[in-house]
Chain A
Amino acid sequence: MTTSPAPLVPSFDDDANEGRKLAIICSKGNLDMAYPGLILGNAALGEGVETHIFFTFWGLDMITKSRMNDLKFTPVGNTATHMPMGLTPMPGITGMATKQMKKSIADLGVPEIPEFLEQIVGAGGHLWACRLSADMNKLTDTDLYSEVEGIISATDFIELTAGAQMLFI
């Protein structure tokens, strides 16, 4: 053998994602609807993708200090839980379902919402609050998670994420 092949090294393609942006709009404040946006955002950041998350309508609960620790999951109207629908509105069901979901998520090493947001910010993610939603709920900067970069309008967010791939959750 006269020549040795170059070592096989993974191509991390750092430059391939250069300029790629992901914009995620979180519009729901149920515990089960809060996670998808955060998990996808976190995954994108881990791939070197610039990620912006806009919290609007009920999604604003995720970054509201007084609520972010207390998001709930309810099986009411959610056939995917496969519970008899007649049982789902009964007292205590939401509490039980929330507790169960939190346990399942924690068992997989996934953090609760506030800690997850911290991790996303640590990974370089950008958090934005919706102006209209903040006004509707009479919330200001001081009511929101401290790492939120600003309360901005939908127009501002669209400008900010020009060229981005968008997810509405």
Chain B
Amino acid sequence: MPVTTIDGREVHVNEEGFLTDPAEWDEAMAPGLAAAIGIELTDDHWKVLRFLRADFATQGETATTRRVQAVGGVSTKEQFALFPKKPAKKMAYIAGLPKPRGCV
């Protein structure tokens, strides 16, 4: 399992670069992860990230864009505006979670 350095901290990642241990993530790390993929975090981004973390803690799976809308209350349109082009993957990456497995 590769180890990489985000903001001076070592974290375990898979071969693509997604964090593999959600416990190695904390909120201080998110801006660094976001910056690495060209995103500057705002309060709206945080609303999504905090939902994803809380949802993962109870569900054991990363929420899909559908779930972020239906349960998290952030519309698909807004998710695309905040995390352009590939919201599901980008949200998961910044939140230190695996890519969502769900189809919808």
Q: Report A's interface with B, CB cutoff 8 A.
A: 4-5, 7-12, 14, 17, 39, 42-43, 46-48, 108-111, 116, 119, 122-124
Which of B64, B66, B67, B89 lies in contact with A12, CB distance below 8 A? B89
Q: Judge whether A9 and B66 touch: CB under 8 Å.
A: no
Please tell me if the beta carbons of A109 and B66 are within 8 angstroms of each other in the complex.
yes
Tell me which residues across on chain A come within 8 A of B90, comparing CB atoms: 12
Rounded to whole angstroms, the CA-CA distance of A11 and B5 in the bound complex is 16
| CB pair A109 B86 closer than 8 Å | no
Task: Given A42-B104, A109-B64, decide whether A9 and B36 contact each other with a Cβ distance below 8 A.
Answer: yes
Residues of A within 8 A of B64 (CB): 109
B29 CB, nearest partner CB in chain A, Å: 12
Does B73 touch A at the CB level, under 8 Å? no
Contact A14 B36 (CB under 8 A): no
| Closest-CB distance, B83 to chain A (whole angstroms) | 10
Chain B interface main SS type: mixed
Residues of A within 8 A of B75 (CB): 122
Known: A46-B65, A119-B66. A9 touches B17 (CB 8 A): yes
Q: Chain A residues near B84 (CB, 8 Å)?
A: 14, 48
**A-side contacts of B85, CB under 8 Å:** 12, 14, 17, 47-48
Q: Which residues of B from 57 to 71 have beta carbons under 8 Å from A?
A: 64-67, 69-70
**B13 sits at the interface (CB 8 A):** yes
User: Closest approach, in angstroms, between the C-beta of A10 and any C-beta of chain B?
Assistant: 4
Distance from B44 Cβ to chain A, minimum over Cβ atoms (Å): 16
A110→B16 CA distance, assembly (Å): 28
6 CB contacts below 8 A, A to B, read A10-B18, A10-B89, A10-B93, A12-B37, A12-B86, A14-B84
**Cβ of B51 to closest chain A Cβ, rounded Å:** 15
Give the Cβ gap from A9 to chain B, nearest Cβ, in Å: 5
Given contacts A7-B5, A119-B65, could you give 5 more A-B pairs where the C-beta distance is less than 8 Å?
A: A12-B85, A12-B90, A109-B64, A109-B104, A123-B77
Interface centre among B13, B37, B70, B86 (most CB of A within 10 A): B86
Confirm or deny: B72 has a beta carbon within 8 angstroms of a beta carbon on chain A.
no
Q: Which residues of B contact A122 (CB under 8 A)?
A: 69, 75-77, 80
Decide if B49 is an interface residue (CB 8 Å cutoff): no
B76 touches which of A7, A10, A110, A123 (Cβ 8 Å):
A123
Q: In the complex, are the beta carbons of A48 and B86 less than 8 A apart?
A: yes
CB atoms of B13 and A8 under 8 A apart: yes
Residues of A close to B104: CB separation below 8 A: 39, 42-43, 108-111, 116
Contact of A110 among B2, B66, B77 (CB under 8 A): B66
